[in-house]
């Protein structure tokens, strides 16, 4: 990889011109009169600015490595080995950027709200949900994204019944949407005295992280808002007032709740943002389903249609049933090494 053959792909100059135009737009009188448009513009500006900073850093490191390679003697084996390692790291970053550049969804560069539900399998399924939660937190940490637990229901014996996590970072939703679906675990149960093999299931749901000011329109007459007394993770008290909020969207039947924030106003704002995200996600799913129907495809969203299997016994294998990608190191996968699965799914989807 040389800087000469990736400069056009980066198009930093073109992005800087777009940033300049957006900054001029922000400086116009009355810019905030249309709040929805203003929020969309500022988010685009923030995303482009962050993207340019990353690209400038990547381009500079490539140039530095090129220059160093011309100055290093062929006999300096240690330096060449170090440069090869740096080149491998740069190639990985470049490939990841190239993939994120291809993301075409309207919310792909937004953060995400990831929710895990324990399925069939009792306490084993709850422990499996805990393992998946840890896996996604590790993955987010590797990407430099920030995680915050919004809601969590702890299992009585072990594990997690349900957990909702806010993940901030670009492109968290674009990558994590590849994880939506049922995940299946096969292992010797640590909760079975007879050490029998058990199969457990957990459902992963991913929606974009939208603000209450996003451009999804929700009419006041279309929602029902209820308030109730909130409780913290595992039933701990958060507030002695009716600060928790439940919103039902009548046209779609979607219901969202939020009780993690300290005030009713904060809970209402976050619940509205979740509602908008779920409406946007539903519309996207309907569009995809319509396209599949036109192509004569069928996709089941039932619990039996698992997207990935993790087998820890009698052999070790992680297999994605959509792309066919297989890994024989489940420990590494459960530590957050998800890139091979995400990349394969996105590459297949974006073709």
Structure confidence by residue, pLDDT tens digits, 133-159: 999 999 999 999 999 998 899 988 899
Structure tokens, 18: 């777009």
Question: Do residue 251 and residue 284 come from a single domain?
Answer: yes
Residue 235: its pLDDT value, please?
Answer: 44
Question: Do residue 8 and residue 92 come from a single domain?
Answer: yes
- 300 lies in some domain: no
pLDDT band at 351 (very low <50, low <70, confident <90, very high): low
DSSP type of residue 328: S
pLDDT over 90 for what percent of the chain?
Answer: 42
User: 145 and 114 in contact (C-beta within 8 Å)?
Assistant: no
Structure tokens, 265: 């106003």
Structure tokens, 264: 């009713």
Question: Do residue 232 and residue 87 come from a single domain?
Answer: no
Alpha-carbon distance values, 203 to 61, 140, 253, 304, 345 (Å): 41, 18, 20, 11, 18
- 21 lies in some domain: yes
Question: Do residue 329 and residue 286 come from a single domain?
Answer: no
Which among 209, 205, 229 is positioned nearest to 269, based on CA atoms? 209
Alpha-carbon distance values, 201 to 9, 156, 211, 222 (Å): 42, 18, 31, 35
Specify burial of residue 47 (Cβ count, 10 A radius: 0-12, 13-18, 19+): middle
Domain end point (choices 55, 82, 102)? 102
Alpha-carbon distance values, 293 to 282, 287, 297 (Å): 16, 10, 6
Mean pLDDT of 54-83: 87
Question: Do residue 190 and residue 336 come from a single domain?
Answer: yes
Domain that includes residue 47, residue range? 3-102
List phi, psi (to 5°) of 240. -95, 5
Question: Do residue 333 and residue 244 come from a single domain?
Answer: no
pLDDT band at 41 (very low <50, low <70, confident <90, very high): confident
- Residue 178 pLDDT exceeds 70: yes
Structure tokens, 244: 């928790």
Q: What CATH number is given to the structural domain containing 78?
A: 1.20.58.410
Q: What CATH number is given to the structural domain containing 229?
A: 3.30.160.20
Q: Provide Rg for the chain, Cα atoms.
A: 23
Q: What CATH number is given to the structural domain containing 319?
A: 3.30.70.1660
The count of domains in the chain is 3
Structure tokens, 303: 């619990």
- 133 lies in some domain: yes
User: 181 and 203 in contact (C-beta within 8 Å)?
Assistant: yes
**Predicted TM-score of the model (pTM):** 0.74
What is the spatial distance between Cα 244 and Cα 239, in angstroms, rounded to a whole number?
A: 9
User: 200 and 190 in contact (C-beta within 8 Å)?
Assistant: no
């Amino acid at each position: 990889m040389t800087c000469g053959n990736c400069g056009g792909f980066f198009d930093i100059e073109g992005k800087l011109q777009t940033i300049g135009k957006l900054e001029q737009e922000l400086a116009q009188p009355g810019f905030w009169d249309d709040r929805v448009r203003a929020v969309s513009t500022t988010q685009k500006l923030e995303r482009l600015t962050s993207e340019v900073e990353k690209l400038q850093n990547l381009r500079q490191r490539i140039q530095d490595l090129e220059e160093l390679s011309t100055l290093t003697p062929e006999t300096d084996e240690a330096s060449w080995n170090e440069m090869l390692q740096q080149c491998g790291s740069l190639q990985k970053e470049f490939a990841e950027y190239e993939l994120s550049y291809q993301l075409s969804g309207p919310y792909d560069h937004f953060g995400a709200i990831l929710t895990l539900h324990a399925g069939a399998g009792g306490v084993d399924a709850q422990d499996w949900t805990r393992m998946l939660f840890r896996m996604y937190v590790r993955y987010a940490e590797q990407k430099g994204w920030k995680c915050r637990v919004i809601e969590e229901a702890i299992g009585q014996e072990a594990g997690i019944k349900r957990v909702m996590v806010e993940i901030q970072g670009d492109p968290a939703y674009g990558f994590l949407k590849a994880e939506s679906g049922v995940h299946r675990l096969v292992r010797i149960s640590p909760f079975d005295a007879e050490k029998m093999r058990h199969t457990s299931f957990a459902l992963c749901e991913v929606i974009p992280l939208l603000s209450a000011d996003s451009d999804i329109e929700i009419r006041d007459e279309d929602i029902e808002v209820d308030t109730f007394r909130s409780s913290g993770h595992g039933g701990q008290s958060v507030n002695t007032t009716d600060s928790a909020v439940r919103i039902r969207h009548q046209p779609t039947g979607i219901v969202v709740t939020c009780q993690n924030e300290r005030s009713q106003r904060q809970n209402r704002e976050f619940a509205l943002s979740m509602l908008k995200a779920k409406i946007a996600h539903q519309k996207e799913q309907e569009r995809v389903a319509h396209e599949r129907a036109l192509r004569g495809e069928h996709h089941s969203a039932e619990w039996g249609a698992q997207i990935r299997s993790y087998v820890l016994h009698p052999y070790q294998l992680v297999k994605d049933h959509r792309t066919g990608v297989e890994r024989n190191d489940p420990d590494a996968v459960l530590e957050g090494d998800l890139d091979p699965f995400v990349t394969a799914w996105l590459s297949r989807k974006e073709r």
